[in-house]
Amino acid sequence: GAVVSQHPSWVICKSGTSVKIECRSLDFQATTMFWYRQFPKQSLMLMATSNEGSKATYEQGVEKDKFLINHASLTLSTLTVTSAHPEDSSFYICSARVSSVSIFGPGTRLTVL
């Protein structure tokens, strides 16, 4: 079946550094991918919709300069958390759609010290 992978699965970084998270669709092409953020014991909140070959669409309240999204190919979208701060520590999950079903990546846990 369709699989979405993420890399890295866990990253610890110092405050002020930037972190790039990759989301790949395996065995299928995804013109659109979605980035979510999840705090402990909470639900997923959509951050942005990543569109291949064009600019991402950000949800209200999400800083586009803070969370840079690049969807350079039909199988890869990247999320870069720039100048990360401890409050950016969270679980970041991407997904791609196959028909109406969302296939989620395994998530990336970001810890900013």
Q: What secondary structure does DSSP assign to 45-72, as a single string?
A: EEEEEEETTS--EEPTT--TTTEEEEEE
Minimum Å gap between C-beta 68 and another protein is: 20
First-last CA distance in the chain:
37
CB-wise, 19 or 23, nearer to another protein? 23
Minimum Å gap between C-beta 83 and another protein is: 26
Minimum Å gap between C-beta 2 and another protein is: 10
74: amino acid identity, one letter: L
Chain contacts with another protein (rule: CB under 8 A): 4, 6, 32, 34, 41-46, 49, 91, 93, 95, 100-107, 109
